[in-house]
Protein backbone atom coordinates (compact mmCIF):
# COMPACT_ATOMS: atom_id res chain seq x y z
CA UNK A 1 0.00 0.00 0.00
CA UNK A 2 1.27 3.50 -0.83
CA UNK A 3 2.80 5.31 2.16
CA UNK A 4 0.90 8.36 3.39
CA UNK A 5 2.47 11.65 4.47
CA UNK A 6 0.88 14.60 6.26
CA UNK A 7 2.67 17.96 6.03
CA UNK A 8 2.09 20.24 8.99
CA UNK A 9 2.63 23.81 7.79
CA UNK A 10 2.01 22.94 4.14
CA UNK A 11 1.35 26.54 3.08
CA UNK A 12 4.99 27.61 3.43
CA UNK A 13 7.33 27.59 0.47
CA UNK A 14 9.52 24.80 1.85
CA UNK A 15 6.75 22.56 3.12
CA UNK A 16 4.51 23.12 0.11
CA UNK A 17 7.42 22.32 -2.16
CA UNK A 18 8.22 19.16 -0.19
CA UNK A 19 4.60 18.08 -0.47
CA UNK A 20 4.81 18.39 -4.25
CA UNK A 21 8.02 16.34 -4.30
CA UNK A 22 6.37 13.67 -2.17
CA UNK A 23 3.39 13.54 -4.51
CA UNK A 24 5.74 13.14 -7.47
CA UNK A 25 7.47 10.28 -5.62
CA UNK A 26 4.14 8.46 -5.35
CA UNK A 27 3.24 9.15 -1.70
CA UNK A 28 -0.33 9.88 -0.65
CA UNK A 29 -0.07 13.47 0.52
CA UNK A 30 -2.19 15.83 2.61
CA UNK A 31 -1.50 18.66 5.00
CA UNK A 32 -2.68 21.73 6.84
CA UNK A 33 -1.72 25.31 7.68
CA UNK A 34 -3.32 28.32 9.32
CA UNK A 35 -3.91 29.92 5.94
CA UNK A 36 -2.77 29.03 2.43
CA UNK A 37 -2.29 31.73 -0.20
CA UNK A 38 -1.22 31.89 -3.85
CA UNK A 39 1.08 30.97 -5.39
CA UNK A 40 1.48 27.96 -3.08
CA UNK A 41 -2.27 27.28 -2.90
CA UNK A 42 -2.38 27.18 -6.70
CA UNK A 43 0.60 24.82 -6.90
CA UNK A 44 -0.87 22.44 -4.33
CA UNK A 45 -4.22 22.43 -6.11
CA UNK A 46 -2.53 21.71 -9.44
CA UNK A 47 -0.73 18.77 -7.81
CA UNK A 48 -4.09 17.48 -6.46
CA UNK A 49 -2.87 17.60 -2.86
CA UNK A 50 -5.57 17.68 -0.17
CA UNK A 51 -5.07 20.65 2.16
CA UNK A 52 -6.87 21.93 5.24
CA UNK A 53 -6.93 25.45 6.62
CA UNK A 54 -6.55 25.13 10.37
CA UNK A 55 -5.69 21.96 12.28
CA UNK A 56 -8.18 19.40 13.54
CA UNK A 57 -7.19 16.01 15.03
CA UNK A 58 -9.64 14.35 12.67
CA UNK A 59 -7.25 15.13 9.82
CA UNK A 60 -4.92 12.52 11.34
CA UNK A 61 -7.55 9.78 11.57
CA UNK A 62 -6.54 7.27 10.42
CA UNK A 63 -2.95 8.21 11.32
CA UNK A 64 -0.63 8.79 8.36
CA UNK A 65 2.51 6.72 8.05
CA UNK A 66 4.58 9.83 8.83
CA UNK A 67 3.99 13.47 9.73
CA UNK A 68 6.43 16.02 8.33
CA UNK A 69 6.65 18.99 10.69
CA UNK A 70 7.63 22.44 9.49
CA UNK A 71 9.35 25.02 11.68
CA UNK A 72 7.24 28.11 11.02
CA UNK A 73 4.86 28.92 13.89
CA UNK A 74 4.94 25.33 15.16
CA UNK A 75 6.46 25.42 18.67
CA UNK A 76 5.69 23.24 21.65
CA UNK A 77 2.23 24.17 22.83
CA UNK A 78 0.79 24.26 19.32
CA UNK A 79 -2.33 22.01 19.29
CA UNK A 80 -1.07 19.94 16.37
CA UNK A 81 2.38 19.39 17.91
CA UNK A 82 0.85 18.41 21.26
CA UNK A 83 -1.56 15.99 19.56
CA UNK A 84 1.27 14.32 17.64
CA UNK A 85 3.33 13.86 20.79
CA UNK A 86 0.43 12.70 22.98
CA UNK A 87 -0.69 10.12 20.42
CA UNK A 88 2.90 8.95 19.79
CA UNK A 89 2.53 9.49 16.04
CA UNK A 90 5.64 9.11 13.83
CA UNK A 91 7.09 12.46 12.77
CA UNK A 92 10.16 14.05 11.24
CA UNK A 93 11.24 17.50 10.10
CA UNK A 94 10.87 18.83 6.59
CA UNK A 95 14.61 19.20 6.06
CA UNK A 96 15.36 15.70 7.35
CA UNK A 97 12.66 14.18 5.15
CA UNK A 98 14.07 16.01 2.12
CA UNK A 99 17.58 14.80 2.89
CA UNK A 100 16.58 11.19 3.39
CA UNK A 101 13.74 10.69 0.90
CA UNK A 102 14.81 12.90 -2.02
CA UNK A 103 18.46 13.98 -1.83
CA UNK A 104 20.06 10.69 -0.77
CA UNK A 105 22.15 9.30 -3.62
CA UNK A 106 21.84 12.43 -5.78
CA UNK A 107 24.39 15.07 -6.75
CA UNK A 108 23.18 17.91 -4.56
CA UNK A 109 24.01 21.47 -5.57
CA UNK A 110 23.27 23.64 -2.53
CA UNK A 111 23.18 27.44 -2.51
CA UNK A 112 23.67 29.02 0.91
CA UNK A 113 24.35 32.48 2.33
CA UNK A 114 22.47 35.44 3.73
CA UNK A 115 21.44 36.95 0.37
CA UNK A 116 20.68 35.71 -3.12
CA UNK A 117 19.97 32.06 -2.36
CA UNK A 118 16.63 31.91 -4.16
CA UNK A 119 17.83 33.74 -7.26
CA UNK A 120 21.13 31.86 -7.54
CA UNK A 121 19.50 28.45 -7.02
CA UNK A 122 16.94 29.34 -9.69
CA UNK A 123 19.75 30.29 -12.07
CA UNK A 124 21.55 27.00 -11.50
CA UNK A 125 18.36 25.01 -12.06
CA UNK A 126 17.64 26.93 -15.28
CA UNK A 127 21.18 26.43 -16.60
CA UNK A 128 21.06 22.69 -15.95
CA UNK A 129 17.60 22.48 -17.47
CA UNK A 130 18.70 24.31 -20.63
CA UNK A 131 21.65 21.93 -20.84
CA UNK A 132 19.18 19.03 -21.04
CA UNK A 133 19.95 17.60 -17.59
CA UNK A 134 16.38 17.86 -16.21
CA UNK A 135 17.47 18.68 -12.65
CA UNK A 136 15.28 18.42 -9.62
CA UNK A 137 15.06 21.50 -7.45
CA UNK A 138 13.69 22.84 -4.19
CA UNK A 139 13.68 26.64 -4.12
CA UNK A 140 12.31 29.11 -1.57
CA UNK A 141 10.44 31.13 -4.18
CA UNK A 142 8.88 30.74 -7.61
CA UNK A 143 11.37 30.93 -10.52
CA UNK A 144 9.67 32.63 -13.46
CA UNK A 145 11.19 30.11 -15.88
CA UNK A 146 9.48 27.17 -14.15
CA UNK A 147 6.33 28.47 -12.39
CA UNK A 148 6.82 25.93 -9.58
CA UNK A 149 9.15 26.06 -6.59
CA UNK A 150 9.94 22.34 -6.52
CA UNK A 151 10.15 19.39 -8.86
CA UNK A 152 11.63 15.92 -8.57
CA UNK A 153 13.52 16.01 -11.86
CA UNK A 154 15.73 13.28 -13.20
CA UNK A 155 18.83 11.97 -11.43
CA UNK A 156 21.52 12.74 -10.67
CA UNK A 157 21.32 16.52 -10.15
CA UNK A 158 19.22 18.28 -7.54
CA UNK A 159 19.47 22.00 -6.76
CA UNK A 160 18.44 23.11 -3.28
CA UNK A 161 18.24 26.47 -1.57
CA UNK A 162 20.17 25.79 1.64
CA UNK A 163 18.69 27.83 4.47
CA UNK A 164 20.52 28.41 7.76
CA UNK A 165 17.29 28.79 9.74
CA UNK A 166 16.74 26.07 12.33
CA UNK A 167 15.11 22.82 11.31
CA UNK A 168 12.16 22.45 13.70
CA UNK A 169 11.11 22.80 17.31
CA UNK A 170 12.92 19.53 18.11
CA UNK A 171 16.01 20.04 15.91
CA UNK A 172 17.72 23.40 16.40
CA UNK A 173 20.42 22.78 13.81
CA UNK A 174 20.30 24.68 10.52
CA UNK A 175 18.24 22.98 7.82
CA UNK A 176 21.19 22.70 5.47
CA UNK A 177 23.07 20.15 7.61
CA UNK A 178 20.57 17.57 6.30
CA UNK A 179 21.35 18.16 2.61
CA UNK A 180 24.91 16.75 2.15
CA UNK A 181 25.87 18.76 -0.97
CA UNK A 182 28.56 17.77 -3.43
CA UNK A 183 28.59 21.31 -4.85
CA UNK A 184 28.20 24.07 -2.28
CA UNK A 185 27.91 27.76 -3.11
CA UNK A 186 28.11 30.31 -0.30
CA UNK A 187 27.08 33.70 -1.64
CA UNK A 188 27.87 35.84 1.40
CA UNK A 189 27.44 35.88 5.16
CA UNK A 190 25.97 38.54 7.44
CA UNK A 191 24.07 38.63 10.71
CA UNK A 192 20.42 37.64 10.33
CA UNK A 193 17.70 35.63 12.08
CA UNK A 194 18.02 37.49 15.36
CA UNK A 195 15.20 35.36 16.78
CA UNK A 196 17.39 32.25 16.86
CA UNK A 197 21.02 33.38 16.51
CA UNK A 198 22.58 35.62 19.18
CA UNK A 199 25.33 36.87 16.89
CA UNK A 200 27.24 36.28 13.64
CA UNK A 201 29.59 33.84 15.34
CA UNK A 202 26.72 31.46 16.00
CA UNK A 203 25.79 31.55 12.30
CA UNK A 204 29.41 30.91 11.32
CA UNK A 205 29.37 27.78 13.47
CA UNK A 206 26.41 26.41 11.52
CA UNK A 207 28.15 27.16 8.22
CA UNK A 208 31.24 25.36 9.51
CA UNK A 209 29.04 22.33 10.15
CA UNK A 210 27.80 22.61 6.56
CA UNK A 211 31.36 22.77 5.20
CA UNK A 212 32.16 19.57 7.10
CA UNK A 213 29.50 17.68 5.09
CA UNK A 214 30.99 18.46 1.65
CA UNK A 215 33.15 15.61 0.28
CA UNK A 216 36.79 16.07 -0.67
CA UNK A 217 35.97 15.48 -4.35
CA UNK A 218 33.23 18.11 -4.27
CA UNK A 219 33.52 21.89 -4.68
CA UNK A 220 32.93 24.93 -2.52
CA UNK A 221 32.25 28.22 -4.34
CA UNK A 222 32.96 31.28 -2.20
CA UNK A 223 33.26 35.05 -2.69
CA UNK A 224 36.72 36.50 -3.17
CA UNK A 225 36.01 39.14 -0.55
CA UNK A 226 33.82 38.27 2.41
CA UNK A 227 35.53 38.21 5.84
CA UNK A 228 32.81 36.12 7.48
CA UNK A 229 32.88 33.43 4.77
CA UNK A 230 36.68 33.45 4.88
CA UNK A 231 36.59 32.87 8.61
CA UNK A 232 34.30 29.88 8.12
CA UNK A 233 36.65 28.38 5.53
CA UNK A 234 39.67 28.83 7.79
CA UNK A 235 37.92 26.94 10.58
CA UNK A 236 38.32 23.87 8.39
CA UNK A 237 37.77 23.04 4.74
CA UNK A 238 38.56 19.72 3.12
CA UNK A 239 37.21 20.54 -0.34
CA UNK A 240 38.59 22.53 -3.33
CA UNK A 241 37.42 26.15 -3.39
CA UNK A 242 36.58 28.31 -6.40
CA UNK A 243 36.20 32.07 -6.05
CA UNK A 244 33.75 34.66 -7.33
CA UNK A 245 35.13 38.18 -7.66
CA UNK A 246 38.07 40.06 -9.13
CA UNK A 247 41.23 37.94 -9.37
CA UNK A 248 43.21 40.56 -7.45
CA UNK A 249 40.75 40.21 -4.55
CA UNK A 250 41.09 36.44 -4.21
CA UNK A 251 42.78 35.44 -0.93
CA UNK A 252 46.44 34.59 -1.36
CA UNK A 253 47.67 31.25 -0.19
CA UNK A 254 44.45 29.63 1.00
CA UNK A 255 45.33 25.96 0.94
CA UNK A 256 42.17 24.62 -0.70
CA UNK A 257 41.75 27.18 -3.47
CA UNK A 258 41.47 25.31 -6.78
CA UNK A 259 42.69 28.26 -8.85
CA UNK A 260 39.34 28.97 -10.55
CA UNK A 261 38.33 32.60 -10.19
CA UNK A 262 35.13 33.81 -11.85
CA UNK A 263 34.62 37.51 -12.44
CA UNK A 264 32.69 39.97 -14.60
CA UNK A 265 34.07 42.66 -16.88
CA UNK A 266 32.94 45.06 -19.58
CA UNK A 267 29.61 45.28 -17.83
CA UNK A 268 26.88 47.89 -17.96
CA UNK A 269 26.61 49.96 -14.82
CA UNK A 270 23.13 48.63 -14.05
CA UNK A 271 24.20 44.98 -14.46
CA UNK A 272 22.02 44.43 -17.51
CA UNK A 273 24.96 43.05 -19.52
CA UNK A 274 28.46 41.79 -18.69
CA UNK A 275 31.20 39.43 -19.81
CA UNK A 276 31.83 36.30 -17.75
CA UNK A 277 35.51 35.48 -17.30
CA UNK A 278 37.14 32.39 -15.83
CA UNK A 279 40.72 32.87 -14.69
CA UNK A 280 40.96 35.98 -16.83
CA UNK A 281 39.59 34.40 -20.02
CA UNK A 282 36.20 35.54 -21.30
CA UNK A 283 33.79 32.64 -21.85
CA UNK A 284 30.71 34.60 -22.98
CA UNK A 285 28.48 37.61 -22.46
CA UNK A 286 25.23 37.75 -20.49
CA UNK A 287 22.54 40.17 -21.66
CA UNK A 288 19.36 39.88 -19.62
CA UNK A 289 16.46 41.66 -17.95
CA UNK A 290 17.91 41.52 -14.44
CA UNK A 291 19.81 44.42 -12.89
CA UNK A 292 22.23 44.98 -10.04
CA UNK A 293 25.75 44.06 -9.02
CA UNK A 294 24.29 41.47 -6.65
CA UNK A 295 22.69 39.62 -9.57
CA UNK A 296 25.95 39.73 -11.52
CA UNK A 297 27.62 38.00 -8.58
CA UNK A 298 24.75 35.50 -8.37
CA UNK A 299 25.22 34.72 -12.06
CA UNK A 300 28.95 34.09 -11.70
CA UNK A 301 28.27 31.73 -8.81
CA UNK A 302 25.65 29.88 -10.85
CA UNK A 303 28.00 29.45 -13.81
CA UNK A 304 30.71 28.08 -11.49
CA UNK A 305 28.28 25.61 -9.90
CA UNK A 306 26.96 24.46 -13.26
CA UNK A 307 30.49 23.91 -14.57
CA UNK A 308 31.20 21.61 -11.63
CA UNK A 309 28.15 19.62 -12.73
CA UNK A 310 29.63 19.34 -16.21
CA UNK A 311 27.89 22.20 -18.04
CA UNK A 312 30.31 24.16 -20.28
CA UNK A 313 30.51 27.83 -19.24
CA UNK A 314 29.46 28.91 -22.74
CA UNK A 315 26.22 26.93 -22.37
CA UNK A 316 25.62 28.40 -18.92
CA UNK A 317 26.11 31.97 -20.14
CA UNK A 318 23.72 31.40 -23.01
CA UNK A 319 21.09 30.02 -20.60
CA UNK A 320 21.39 33.05 -18.31
CA UNK A 321 20.50 35.37 -21.16
CA UNK A 322 17.01 33.83 -21.09
CA UNK A 323 16.74 33.69 -17.29
CA UNK A 324 13.56 35.54 -16.29
CA UNK A 325 14.26 36.01 -12.60
CA UNK A 326 12.20 35.10 -9.55
CA UNK A 327 8.82 36.43 -8.55
CA UNK A 328 8.88 39.24 -5.99
CA UNK A 329 12.42 40.31 -6.86
CA UNK A 330 11.92 43.87 -8.14
CA UNK A 331 8.81 42.54 -9.85
CA UNK A 332 6.93 45.24 -11.79
CA UNK A 333 3.23 44.60 -11.13
CA UNK A 334 1.36 47.85 -11.79
CA UNK A 335 1.78 51.12 -13.63
CA UNK A 336 -0.29 54.11 -14.58
CA UNK A 337 0.86 57.32 -16.18
CA UNK A 338 4.34 58.06 -14.86
CA UNK A 339 4.05 55.78 -11.81
CA UNK A 340 5.53 52.24 -11.88
CA UNK A 341 5.17 49.97 -8.86
CA UNK A 342 7.41 47.00 -8.00
CA UNK A 343 7.19 44.19 -5.45
CA UNK A 344 10.44 43.15 -3.76
CA UNK A 345 11.05 40.43 -1.19
CA UNK A 346 13.33 42.50 1.03
CA UNK A 347 14.39 40.72 4.21
CA UNK A 348 17.61 42.51 5.21
CA UNK A 349 19.06 46.06 5.00
CA UNK A 350 21.81 44.91 2.63
CA UNK A 351 19.25 43.56 0.17
CA UNK A 352 17.19 46.74 0.42
CA UNK A 353 20.22 48.86 -0.45
CA UNK A 354 21.37 46.54 -3.27
CA UNK A 355 17.94 46.54 -4.92
CA UNK A 356 17.48 50.30 -4.68
CA UNK A 357 21.02 50.92 -5.94
CA UNK A 358 20.41 48.64 -8.91
CA UNK A 359 17.22 50.50 -9.76
CA UNK A 360 19.03 53.85 -9.39
CA UNK A 361 21.63 52.76 -11.95
CA UNK A 362 18.82 51.71 -14.30
CA UNK A 363 16.54 54.82 -14.02
CA UNK A 364 19.13 57.55 -13.48
CA UNK A 365 17.64 60.69 -11.92
CA UNK A 366 14.03 59.53 -12.03
CA UNK A 367 12.26 59.50 -8.67
CA UNK A 368 12.41 56.39 -6.49
CA UNK A 369 10.14 55.89 -3.48
CA UNK A 370 10.89 52.98 -1.15
CA UNK A 371 7.93 51.66 0.86
CA UNK A 372 9.37 49.35 3.51
CA UNK A 373 7.81 47.00 6.04
CA UNK A 374 10.64 45.81 8.36
CA UNK A 375 8.79 42.55 8.93
CA UNK A 376 11.44 39.85 9.40
CA UNK A 377 12.29 38.77 12.92
CA UNK A 378 15.68 40.44 12.64
CA UNK A 379 14.32 43.80 11.51
CA UNK A 380 11.18 43.77 13.68
CA UNK A 381 13.33 43.14 16.75
CA UNK A 382 15.51 46.12 15.86
CA UNK A 383 18.73 44.11 15.65
CA UNK A 384 19.83 45.93 12.47
CA UNK A 385 18.32 49.35 13.15
CA UNK A 386 21.60 51.20 12.44
CA UNK A 387 21.79 49.63 8.98
CA UNK A 388 18.09 50.28 8.35
CA UNK A 389 18.57 54.01 8.91
CA UNK A 390 20.86 54.24 5.87
CA UNK A 391 19.87 51.36 3.58
CA UNK A 392 17.39 53.45 1.58
CA UNK A 393 19.99 56.05 0.62
CA UNK A 394 19.70 55.32 -3.15
CA UNK A 395 16.01 56.34 -3.05
CA UNK A 396 14.61 59.86 -3.14
CA UNK A 397 12.11 59.13 -0.40
CA UNK A 398 11.26 56.32 2.01
CA UNK A 399 7.98 55.45 3.70
CA UNK A 400 8.29 53.16 6.71
CA UNK A 401 5.27 51.05 7.64
CA UNK A 402 4.80 50.53 11.37
CA UNK A 403 3.07 47.18 11.76
CA UNK A 404 1.85 45.89 15.12
CA UNK A 405 4.67 43.34 15.23
CA UNK A 406 7.38 46.01 15.44
CA UNK A 407 8.94 46.00 18.90
CA UNK A 408 10.93 49.23 18.76
CA UNK A 409 10.47 52.87 17.88
CA UNK A 410 10.64 53.26 14.12
CA UNK A 411 10.63 56.99 14.63
CA UNK A 412 14.40 56.89 14.95
CA UNK A 413 14.59 55.76 11.31
CA UNK A 414 12.83 58.94 10.29
CA UNK A 415 15.05 61.07 12.52
CA UNK A 416 18.28 59.46 11.27
CA UNK A 417 17.30 58.98 7.63
CA UNK A 418 19.64 60.38 4.97
CA UNK A 419 16.68 60.89 2.60
CA UNK A 420 13.21 62.35 3.31
CA UNK A 421 11.35 59.78 5.40
CA UNK A 422 7.80 59.27 6.65
CA UNK A 423 6.35 56.85 9.18
CA UNK A 424 2.82 55.55 8.50
CA UNK A 425 0.76 52.83 10.16
CA UNK A 426 -2.19 52.64 7.76
CA UNK A 427 -1.96 50.78 4.44
CA UNK A 428 -4.62 52.97 2.82
CA UNK A 429 -2.64 56.10 3.71
CA UNK A 430 0.44 54.64 1.98
CA UNK A 431 -1.55 53.71 -1.12
CA UNK A 432 -3.06 57.17 -1.32
CA UNK A 433 0.32 58.83 -0.98
CA UNK A 434 2.22 56.85 -3.64
CA UNK A 435 -0.54 56.76 -6.28
CA UNK A 436 -1.13 60.49 -6.52
CA UNK A 437 -0.74 61.80 -10.09
CA UNK A 438 2.73 63.18 -10.78
CA UNK A 439 4.50 64.83 -13.67
CA UNK A 440 7.78 63.17 -12.72
CA UNK A 441 8.58 59.56 -13.62
CA UNK A 442 8.30 57.71 -10.31
CA UNK A 443 9.29 54.19 -9.30
CA UNK A 444 7.61 52.88 -6.15
CA UNK A 445 9.30 49.82 -4.62
CA UNK A 446 7.20 47.92 -2.07
CA UNK A 447 9.66 46.00 0.13
CA UNK A 448 8.55 43.25 2.52
CA UNK A 449 8.94 39.50 2.95
CA UNK A 450 5.23 39.17 3.73
CA UNK A 451 1.82 40.14 2.43
CA UNK A 452 2.24 43.72 3.73
CA UNK A 453 -1.43 43.99 4.66
CA UNK A 454 -2.61 43.29 1.12
CA UNK A 455 -0.93 46.42 -0.22
CA UNK A 456 -0.23 44.89 -3.62
CA UNK A 457 -3.91 44.29 -4.32
CA UNK A 458 -4.81 47.77 -3.07
CA UNK A 459 -2.19 49.38 -5.31
CA UNK A 460 -3.39 47.41 -8.32
CA UNK A 461 -6.92 48.56 -7.63
CA UNK A 462 -5.88 52.19 -7.11
CA UNK A 463 -3.87 52.29 -10.33
CA UNK A 464 -6.32 50.25 -12.38
CA UNK A 465 -5.43 47.25 -14.49
CA UNK A 466 -1.75 47.28 -15.48
Boundary residue ending a domain (58, 93, 128): 93
Half-sphere exposure of 200 (CA within 13 A, CB side): 12
Is the distance from CB of 407 to CB of 382 less than 8 angstroms?
A: yes
Boundary residue ending a domain (93, 127, 143): 93
Residues 335-348 have a mean pLDDT of 88
**Count: domains in the chain:** 3
Per the document, the length of the chain is 466
Give whole-number Cα distances, 385 to 50, 195, 295, 345, 350, in Å: 42, 15, 25, 18, 12
φ/ψ of residue 346, rounded to 5: -90, 120
- Same domain membership, residue 308 and residue 412: no
- Same domain membership, residue 147 and residue 265: yes
Q: How confident is the model at residue 437 (pLDDT cuts 50, 70, 90)?
A: confident
- Same domain membership, residue 123 and residue 252: yes
* 374 DSSP assignment: -
Residue 100 located in a structural domain: no
Summary count for the chain: helices (H), strands (E):
15, 23
Higher-confidence residue of 56 and 13: namely 56
Within 8 A by CB and 6+ apart from 252, the residues are none
Pick the most confident of 298-307, 347-356, 402-411.
298-307
- Same domain membership, residue 62 and residue 11: yes
The string of pLDDT tens digits covering residues 108-148 is 999 999 999 999 999 999 999 999 999 999 998 889 999 88
The string of pLDDT tens digits covering residues 85-99 is 999 999 999 999 999
- Same domain membership, residue 215 and residue 191: yes
Higher-confidence residue of 75 and 377: namely 75
**Residue 251 pLDDT > 70, yes or no?**
yes
At 278 the pLDDT is 95
φ/ψ of residue 338, rounded to 5: -100, 10
What CA–CA distance (Å, rounded) separates 278 from 262?
Answer: 5
- Same domain membership, residue 364 and residue 242: no
Residues 290-298 have a mean pLDDT of 94
Q: For position 266, which CATH number holds?
A: 3.40.1190.10
Element (H, E) at 427: helix 427-434
**Domain range holding 244?**
105-320
Q: For position 426, which CATH number holds?
A: 3.90.190.20
At 254 the pLDDT is 58
At 438 the pLDDT is 86
- Same domain membership, residue 352 and residue 290: no
Residues 99-106 have a mean pLDDT of 96
Residue ranges of E strands in 54-192? 66-69, 91-93, 107-112, 136-138, 150-151, 157-161, 166-168, 171-174, 183-186
Q: What percent of the chain has pLDDT over 70?
A: 96
Give whole-number Cα distances, 306 to 21, 116, 443, in Å: 22, 16, 35
Q: Under DSSP, is residue 325 helix (H, G, I), strand (E, B) or coil?
A: coil
- Same domain membership, residue 285 and residue 192: yes
Boundary residue ending a domain (320, 343, 372): 320
Q: Which residues pair with 276 in a beta bridge?
A: 264, 284
State pTM to two decimals. 0.92
Q: How confident is the model at residue 466 (pLDDT cuts 50, 70, 90)?
A: very low
At 248 the pLDDT is 76
- Same domain membership, residue 400 and residue 316: no
Residue 73: count other Cβ atoms within 10 Å of its Cβ. Answer: 10
Residue 81 located in a structural domain: yes
At 452 the pLDDT is 80
**Residue 298 pLDDT > 50, yes or no?**
yes
Half-sphere exposure of 269 (CA within 13 A, CB side): 7
- Same domain membership, residue 260 and residue 118: yes
At 1 the pLDDT is 64
- Same domain membership, residue 269 and residue 232: yes
Higher-confidence residue of 447 and 375: namely 447
Across all residues in the chain, what is the average pLDDT? 91
Q: For position 38, which CATH number holds?
A: 3.40.50.720
- Same domain membership, residue 205 and residue 311: yes
What CA–CA distance (Å, rounded) separates 282 from 262?
Answer: 10
Amino acid sequence: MTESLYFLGIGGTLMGGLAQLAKARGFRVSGSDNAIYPPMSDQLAAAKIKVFEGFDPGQLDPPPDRIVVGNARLPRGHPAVEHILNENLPYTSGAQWLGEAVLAGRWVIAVAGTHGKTTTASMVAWILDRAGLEPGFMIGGVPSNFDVSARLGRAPFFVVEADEYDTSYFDRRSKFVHYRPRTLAINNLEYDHADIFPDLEAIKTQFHHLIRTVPGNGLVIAPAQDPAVEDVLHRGCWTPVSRVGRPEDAPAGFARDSGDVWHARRGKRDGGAFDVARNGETVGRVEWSLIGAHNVSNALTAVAAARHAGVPPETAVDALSSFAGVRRRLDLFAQKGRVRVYDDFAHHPTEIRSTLQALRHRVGTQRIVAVVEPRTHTMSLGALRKDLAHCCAPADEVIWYRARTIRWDLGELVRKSVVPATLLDEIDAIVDRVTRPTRRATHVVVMSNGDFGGIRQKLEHALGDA
